[in-house]
Amino acid sequence: MIEIGREAPMFNLRDEQENEVRLSDYRGRWVVLYFYPKDNTPGCTTEALEFTSLEAEFFAQNAVVMGISADSCASHQKFVIGHHLQIKLLSDPERTVLKAYDAWGQKKLYGKSFLGITRSTVLVDPAGRIAWHWPKVKAVGHAAVVLERLRTLQK
């Protein structure tokens, strides 16, 4: 369970270029981990584009943005290239990190229940602790909300 103030679950995943990425590599920086269902879908594209448009502002706040889904590295690479994304996308095909961050579980759509990725975001502080958690989010406008919370926490 994700709880503000607790140590963020460590991970080691591959990015869109198949480079190994560890959360511990970012100690000393703020880390925005946003979890999304699927590359190249309307809501996920909107969210990725909004985070990309604010990437320089996140960088100015000593923050890095990383999107995580169960899609493959190859799928992520096509998504990044096709939409000129400036953020890192991480592949979690075994859903280990998704589960550790409460982003995998029961969902309902049109009355049917199924397992899937919950669109959610976790903000990790420079010491590696959970600073904020958005358990269910709407794609539109979410990146700006995260940036504002980051600024507030840094005051």
pLDDT in tens, 145-154: 999 999 999 9
Catalytic residue among 13, 44, 103, 139: 44
Active site residue 73: no
Check residue 95 and give its pLDDT.
Answer: 97
- Taking the C-alpha atoms of residue 99 and residue 76, their distance in angstroms, rounded to an integer, is 20
Q: Per-residue pLDDT for 109 more than 90?
A: no
Average pLDDT over every residue of 81-93 = 97
* Nearest to 147, CA basis, from 129, 128, 121: 121
**Cβ distance 36 to 67 under 8 Å?**
yes
Q: Backbone phi, then psi, for 100, in 5-degree steps?
A: -65, -30
Does some domain include residue 56? yes
The model's pTM: 0.95
Per-residue confidence (pLDDT) for residue 110, from 0 to 100: 85
Residue 58 included in any domain: yes
% of the chain residues with pLDDT over 90: 92
1 within some domain: no
Across the range 92-120, mean pLDDT stands at 92
5 domain-assigned: no
> What DSSP letter does each residue of 28-78 carry, written as one string?
TSEEEEEE-S-TTSHHHHHHHHHHHHTHHHHHHTTEEEEEEESS-HHHHHH
